[in-house]
Structures are given as C-alpha cells and as structure tokens.
Structure 1
Amino acid sequence: MDFEALKTFVTVVDQKSFTKASKILSLSQPTVSFHIKNLEDYYDTTLIDRSPKRFIVTQTGELVYQRARQVLRMMDTTRSEVLEYHNHLRGSVHIGASYTVGEYILPSLLKQYDELYPGIDIKVEIANSERINQRLQNHDLDLGLVEGKVSHKGLHSTPFLEDEMVIIAPKNHSLQHLTSATVDDLQHLTWVTRESGSGTGAMFDTMLHSYNIRPEKVITIGSNHGVVQAVKEGIGLSLLSKTVVHHTGAEQLRVHLPFMSPMKRYFSLVVQENDEEISKNAKVFIELLEQISHFKLS
C-alpha cells in the first residue's frame, strides 16, 4: 500500500479540492490526481465523483477515507513511539577500539551515536587489537572495533570497512628518489613499526615474509602517531594504514613501489558470539554502523 497516496487522498477529501491539496502537500496537481487514480485502481472503485462543478465522496470513498485516517494516525503514533524509544535509551555503552580505528574512524561515529541517543553514556577504551579481543572475551567491553580477522573463542567478527596499507619513508631517504625500486632496495634498512598484538604489526610481519625482506633494525613504537613522527624524524621506513597516513599529514612521505601488490585488510566489528549477551545500547550502535558502512553486521 502506498501511504503517500493515502495521505494525498485524505488531504483532498479534507480540503474538498485537488488544487488546495496540491498546495498543502507541495505536489503538482497531476501528481495528486495520479495518487487518487492509483488508489481507485487498487480498490477497484470510484472514490470521488468529481466534475468541474461538484466534488462528492462516494460511499466506498468515505469508507477508504475513514480507514486511511486510522492508518495514518497509527503510523504517526508508531513513529512517535520509536522516536521516544530512541530518546529514552539510558545507561552506558563500553566500546573497545584498536588504535587506528579508535583514533581516526570512531570519533565521527560517536558524534552521530551521541546525537541519536543522548541519554547513553559512552566509554571508549583504545588499545591494540589483541588487547581489545581479550577484553571482549572477559566481558569487559560491549563491542570492539579492531583491525584484521578475529578468531578468538566466543567472539564473532564482521568486516565493516576496507583499509589499505602503504609504505612511508623520510623525505631525504633514497627510496624517495628511485623511479624503479626493487625488493633489493628494501633490504637491510631500519623499519619503524607497531608492537606485537597490533593489527598493523601483524601486517608488517606479513609483508616481511611475503617479500623476504630482511631489516637491518626494527624499532617498535606503541602508537600510530609515534611511528609517523619517527619516520618524519628520519629514523626509518614504516608500513602504516592509509587512514593513519592521511590523518597525520604524512601523505607526502608515501613511497610507491610498483613491484608490490596493494596490501589490504578490513576493520572488523567484534561482539559476543551469543546474541543474547549483546546489550541494547550496543545493538543500536551496530545498527548505526550498518547504515554508515553498508555492511550487514547483525
């Protein structure tokens, strides 16, 4: 059933005029007539006996009019109840996020969530992916947003956003000036990376293994910002999320290596495997994330 057509019909009958109804509804007169014609086709009856000099609602038209008013009232009431339900959600939600997600992606989500559910207190814990997954296993968090695939017992993960890994190097590094670098140009260099347990650190290890790269030295720093700053200071190269590079103003440090295939991963939503253990406040956050990411998460 076309609720817009029902609304148009009720307005036409209330105003006893197609012209007045079109102005009130901000519709063209042909559109108003089209809605009424569709209803008449649907019910297989004449709803309004109209001519240039008269406007008469038929008996079946009166029946549809009364029922339409009931339906529209019910729809309005339902909408008000839903809005009231959202606005009256209370309590808190405890979200865990890996550094990349928590520092650069989560804040915009939190803004929208807070606007929709102002009665919910939000607590965010940022740590590496392994730590967040452990906290979820211990039921210390309502949900997690982490990097990479999750296979921890009792947890269920779903990807919600694709991410690409890129290499950055100091401005004066030799790689910045090579036009056709090879794997040999990456050997025996100093690399700066994230700690063990982080999604970024895992991607770094995968890169070393895939291309048989042998670093001269590896420096580990426990934050994305720290890694970027170390590269800017000329300490060494790094493999980082494109998201991090963009948000930290390090795009001019990117090194394009044609021999390397794009290294991609997903950011994942992680929740308890048992749906009954997911709080209502966490579920409405997941619904918001679904709308934004266009992934089916629940």
Structure 2
Amino acid sequence: AIMDCQGALDLLAGRTGGSVHLGAVSTAKYFVPHAIAAFSKRYPKIEIKLTIGNREEIREAMHGYDLDFAVMGRPPADVTVDVRQLGRNPHIIVARKGHWLEKDSGLNLTDLVHETFLTREPGSGTRTLMEGMFQRSDLEPIIGMEMSSNETIKQAVIAGLGIAFISAHTVAHELTEGRLIVLDVAGLPIVRQWYVIRRSDKVLLPPAQAMFDFLGSEGSNYLPDVPELGGR
C-alpha cells in the first residue's frame, strides 16, 4: 500500500506521466482549452485527450467508460454522476451590427417571431434551451439554417442571414469587437451552469482526479468575459 501511495503521489506531483480523457460539449470549446493549458503548465507530464461533441454525443460517451469526465450544461439524467459546478453560462440573442432592432430596448419574444433564427442541430443543449424558451411563450420561431457549429452560426449572423440564441461565451470576442450585438429581450439572459461531470462508478486515477478537482475549483477563471453582461 505504501508503494501505491508513493506512486499516486509521484503521479500527482507530475514526476510521472499519466493521461486524462475529457469530453466537452462544443459550446465549451471557447474556454476548456485555456483551462487545459493552465493545468498542463502545472502538470506538464500528464497527457490530455479532448473529445468535443454536442450534448447528445457527450451524453452517449458518458455511457461508456472511455471519458474520465465531461464539461457540459445539464447533467445527463440517465447516468449516476458526481458533479462539480464550474460557473455561469448566460444565453443571449445576438444580431449583426446595424440590425433594425439594435436600438430597441425591452423587446419581447413576440417581437422576434418574424425574424429568422440560425440554430444548432437537434441534440444540442443550446437548441433544446431555445426551443423550451419559445414553447413557454407558446411561440414558434422561424428556423432558417441548422448548423453543427457555433462558429458557422456566428459568421452567418454577421453576414446578415438571421439572428441567433447562443451562449454568450461563444460570442464574447465578436461582441467586444462590435461585429455582433446583444438584442435587449425580456427574460434574457437565460443563465445556466457549466458543470464538470463524471460517472459515480468510474474510479478516476490521480491525474484525472487532479484535473477534475482543478476544473471544479479554478475552471471558472477561464470563462470568457462578456462585455454587455458585466464580466463573468
């Protein structure tokens, strides 16, 4: 047992390697790499593998034991998990600079029923959240194009193809640059949480445990600042 303990300490001290396999929903890819970089500085010998997918894909991956843990919004309902809160994830509606509703304040969802929404594919957490928001108001959004990446949605909104309901963390950069604007809509932002999630029955080796703890305690430091929403 003493050897085991020493081996574990060596792993933690970064004297020996080890590997960690984490998953992240695609919306989280705007901050997860920054957190990984900070962790790697501390533990340079630990090899890290990152798998990105939509909510549905990461939920599926959690069913196997490949992933040590995942960064996502709502924890999956069908697996028993341990959860660490990582920080707030505000969702907003963005439009291109110069959009005709740019100067309007106090808009309602009803004011947006004639707008075209560019949206993620079904199975994405952002898409599910948007659908729930409209359903609660008994409204039906006009869906323009479905896209599997937030990057493409941003470019399409900037090009004037429509507006989008999106995590503020994915557009922090474009808001700062003034290429996108936040529409002032009642009830928004909808604030969800980011979580680090692992299967309760998955035993984490020291490197994975160290990273799980790191994300749980320091992960929020790597969330992008959103100018319109007053920081993190």
TM range (shorter): 0.7 to 0.9
Contact 1:99–1:126 (CA under 8 A) maintained in structure 2: yes
Partner Cα distance (2:60, 2:32) in 1 = 20
1:170/1:84 CA distance change after superposition, 3 Å: closer
Give a deviation string over 1:104-134, Cα, whole Å, max 9, x none. 1111211121112111111111111221121
Q: Which residue of 1 aligns with 2:184?
A: 256
Structure 1: gaps of 5 or more residues: 1-80
Q: Which residue of 2 aligns with 1:214?
A: 140
1:129/1:216 CA distance change after superposition, 3 Å: closer
Give a deviation string over 1:142-165, Cα, whole Å, max 9, x none. 110012233122433332211111
TM-score (norm 1): 0.64
2:126 counterpart SS class: helix
Give a deviation string over 1:188-247, Cα, whole Å, max 9, x none. 321011112222111111221122332233421111111111111111111111111103
Q: Name the structure where strand makes up a greater proportion of residues.
A: 2
Give a deviation string over 1:245-289, Cα, whole Å, max 9, x none. 1034475421112x32431101111101125x2222210001212
Match of 1:270 among 159, 177, 197: 197
The alpha-carbon deviation at position 94 of structure 1 amounts to 0.8
Contact 2:10–2:16 (CA under 8 A) maintained in structure 1: no
- After superposition, the CA RMSD in angstroms is 2.3
2:101 counterpart SS class: helix
1:268 counterpart SS class: strand
Structure 2: gaps of 5 or more residues: 1-7, 221-232
Pairs within 5 Å for 1:88-127 = 88-101=15-28, 103-127=29-53
The alpha-carbon deviation at position 293 of structure 1 amounts to 4.6
1:208 partner amino acid: F
Partner Cα distance (1:89, 1:152) in 2 = 36
1:108/1:185 CA distance change after superposition, 3 Å: same
TM-score (norm 2): 0.81
Contact 2:72–2:195 (CA under 8 A) maintained in structure 1: yes
Q: Does 1:203 align with 2:129?
A: yes
Contact 2:20–2:48 (CA under 8 A) maintained in structure 1: yes
Pairs within 5 Å for 1:148-159 = 148-159=74-85
Larger C-alpha radius of gyration, 1 or 2?
A: 1
Partner Cα distance (1:87, 1:160) in 2 = 24
Contact 2:14–2:46 (CA under 8 A) maintained in structure 1: no
